[in-house]
Chain A
């Protein structure tokens, strides 16, 4: 259901009826384990506020879901971890506040890989989320829960965070639109930090216009986040004609699932028939993107996770006698295996004697990658490629092989490292009925331009 359909329904019935229906759908779809909690009481109270005219705005009464790493009222903010299992936020994330200021109603908090570490939502401390199209398959991740509730029609849109593909890949796996905004477009304030230099906030929706509409609301400079950019987002009603589009051939190798390539090629043909020119382009640094990513991101996340020490809030280990034991046991019990693996990698690459060889070297390589993107965008308006190398894989298929799991991020990580906007749009399904996504990538702050192109291609 689209946002405008929901708004019509609210007009015809009531916000309470719409929110109750969302909550009912959430319960009916519990087996997917897409939601960690419902914020029913607060949601219904806000719905009554909309119905009585106290709450108004462009999204008055429209239900939505947030990934459970967003600080939000009405339920704990767990980041799908044991360490924050009972953490109740005293304030809300800027993105949530902005949506609420337009009358939107948060009905629940979506499952994720604990602290957003993962690409399948299997790393949630509370169990995995199933794919909306095949319960034996993964939802993708880390924002798996948000993608699945959107795909199942529980809510018309949901918020997620994307550090290396965590919105785009689950969007691709569940047949919805997923938006990774330009770094700094949306405030990160109130979102549990993973990697400070690549974390971005974005949304899932069933169609491009809705995703664009939500993006317009949540973007903007925020005095609480020094890395937010001055306001730049402006919806473009019409897409530029005759755009030069680059198909990233490094993402179209034989290692990529043939059906995925086929869907991307179909999308390319549609672009051509719409009058755009598409050429193959090369992004040689993409080969190193994963290596760069898995140095910089663990370094930043091990720093950002240092605050979870059991001293001031969150879970604290019982029966400890020394401070070192308190820290050790609290963090051992509070983090999942993948969290610990990444904390160890991060600590290692930052340790004295290795910092230059790993972290600094990775930052230099990152600059080269950014240079390559900049060079391409001197010629091309937009780049295109698959969002992920395969459709949704089986639950448990990759859990024993972290490297194989990381390889899933290979097409989403480069734009994350460069801070560039990218969206994943549905490009059809494979023969088994699993959705496949195509990724549109643009230069810094070109978010609106990408939306305009994607909108013009929708339903073609």
Chain B
């Protein structure tokens, strides 16, 4: 066992490569359906994806547009000229004997993104570049034979490559979550992690903090959940520190993640690494983009998480709360609309807290909100907030109405409040009469005397009696104020 004090001697360094499947209708170079989910094997494959003789790629402009949008989300520049290259290797899931990728001139150049942590701090991760490429098919192994499914072959990918700027598994997790949000917010990917819409390769190394050099890295490939990214990095760091402590040498290698055993296993080391014989792909002319074209496409990108974090500073919410709300794009957009339409931070803050309850119940293990269940209209939410503001509703009553509004979005909150008899009585004369009747009630005479004699605790009991008599509609703060006024204390 390696203790914490030993682990602390070492610096962890992590760089991440993320393959994002682009949410185009058709594949990168063919007209075949790009949504392979729940399709029978080899049913969404065109002659181009199949690698028939004489077939030529036809670049899907939709994929280029999504890459341009991704560039905005990654805060990284779009290159005015980018090209495709061929990466050669033989494998049955690779129909042409090469993968069409962008080796020499990728579409997205170097940039930097800010990654927020839950404690409110943030750190920067530099993007080395991001390039477009096609996905390969899949093999399934059956005893002494294997089957090829090319449904996924030719699916457009954007591979995002970071610099080694990550130094803890928590940072890594925060990075992949933020990347997920950026890519889904910008509409670049469908974001279905279960179906491999985003897959991560993590490069981890360990070195003594006293050393200036990076350690030898291992690469764990094909992680498809935030949790597995975090766990694989932790495992690799521990494994490498253990070896280093024993005086052993780390070998540069590719490792796989065993989800059931929660550990990595060696797949191949550097000596087995292939020569991919990269060469320019002469079948695809360069992608040439003007500034105007890039701006036009990027102008359709919706607001991204950093915008909301900035905009919501006036809401005075915890960073954990903000991160939880940003987990759902529709929720973030809703809060922003409330802020803009109502013009008040209090309304937006109030709505944000209601939404938080809704979102928290719908967030899965990986921090992804599947369905918020919010159906209430913006105007109704503002109205609900106003009713609380005017003391017409207690916060408990507002919550109840909020839930009901999502079940019956056509009904106004006031109508629900009336129907459920939840309107607070804030009319002073009406409450004054109830207060009078309670204070004059012989049954409470002792309590009134105790209060007059300075026993402040009793006031709660008296407020409770007034509330009871008003059937819960009286505003408790107002009741307390009126009792004090009447007794002149």
Bound Cα distance A193, B96 (Å): 12
A400 at the interface (CB under 8 A from B): no
Bound Cα distance A196, B276 (Å): 19
Within 8 A of B (CB), among A41-95: 69-71, 77, 79, 84, 87, 89-91, 93
B458 at the interface (CB under 8 A from A): no
Pair B53/A306 contact, Cβ less than 8 Å: no
- Of the candidates B47, B276, B282, B285, the one having the most CB atoms from chain A within 10 angstroms of its own CB is B282
A251 at the interface (CB under 8 A from B): no
What's the nearest-Cβ distance from chain B to residue A110, in Å?
A: 16
Pair A91/B47 contact, Cβ less than 8 Å: yes
* B283 partner residues in chain A, CB cutoff 8 A: 193, 196, 226-227
Pair B97/A309 contact, Cβ less than 8 Å: yes
Bound Cα distance A226, B29 (Å): 11
A197 at the interface (CB under 8 A from B): yes
Pair A309/B53 contact, Cβ less than 8 Å: no
Pair B90/A309 contact, Cβ less than 8 Å: yes
Bound Cα distance A89, B54 (Å): 10
What's the nearest-Cβ distance from chain B to residue A139, in Å?
A: 23
Pair A303/B54 contact, Cβ less than 8 Å: no
B148 at the interface (CB under 8 A from A): yes
Interface of B is mostly: loop
Pair A226/B53 contact, Cβ less than 8 Å: no
Given A196-B282, A350-B277, A350-B279, A307-B95 contact (CB < 8 Å) = yes
Bound Cα distance A61, B243 (Å): 78
B278 at the interface (CB under 8 A from A): yes
B58 at the interface (CB under 8 A from A): yes
What's the nearest-Cβ distance from chain B to residue A88, in Å?
A: 11
What's the nearest-Cβ distance from chain B to residue A163, in Å?
A: 12
What's the nearest-Cβ distance from chain A to residue B146, in Å?
A: 9
What's the nearest-Cβ distance from chain A to residue B377, in Å?
A: 46
Pair B52/A90 contact, Cβ less than 8 Å: yes
B51 at the interface (CB under 8 A from A): yes
Bound Cα distance A399, B52 (Å): 31
Contact among B92, B98, B279, B282 with A227 in the assembled complex (CB-CB below 8 Å): B282
Pair B98/A71 contact, Cβ less than 8 Å: no
B88 at the interface (CB under 8 A from A): yes
Pair A327/B54 contact, Cβ less than 8 Å: no
Within 8 A of A (CB), among B79-102: 86, 88, 90, 92, 95-98
Pair A71/B279 contact, Cβ less than 8 Å: no
Given A306-B98, A359-B279, A223-B53 contact (CB < 8 Å) = no
Within 8 A of B (CB), among A332-367: 347, 350-352, 355, 359
What's the nearest-Cβ distance from chain A to residue B326, in Å?
A: 40
Contact among A192, A311, A355 with B278 in the assembled complex (CB-CB below 8 Å): A355
Contact among B51, B54, B86, B276 with A312 in the assembled complex (CB-CB below 8 Å): B51
Pair A93/B98 contact, Cβ less than 8 Å: no
Bound Cα distance A196, B98 (Å): 14
Given A190-B54, A223-B58, A224-B56, A303-B275 contact (CB < 8 Å) = no
Among all A-B residue pairs, the 7 with the closest Cβ atoms: A306-B97, A196-B282, A350-B277, A197-B282, A307-B51, A190-B54, A192-B53
Residue numbers of A with Cβ under 8 A of B are 69-71, 77, 79, 84, 87, 89-91, 93, 188-193, 195-197, 223-227, 299-300, 302-303, 305-309, 311-313, 323, 327, 347, 350-352, 355, 359
Interface CB pairs A-B, < 8 A, 13: A70-B54, A188-B56, A192-B53, A193-B54, A196-B281, A226-B284, A300-B282, A306-B97, A306-B98, A307-B95, A311-B148, A312-B50, A350-B88
**20 extra interface residue pairs, beta carbon distance < 8 Å, beyond A188-B56, A224-B58:** A70-B54, A71-B54, A79-B53, A87-B53, A90-B52, A91-B47, A189-B55, A196-B283, A226-B57, A226-B58, A306-B97, A307-B95, A308-B53, A309-B97, A312-B50, A313-B52, A323-B92, A327-B90, A350-B278, A351-B277
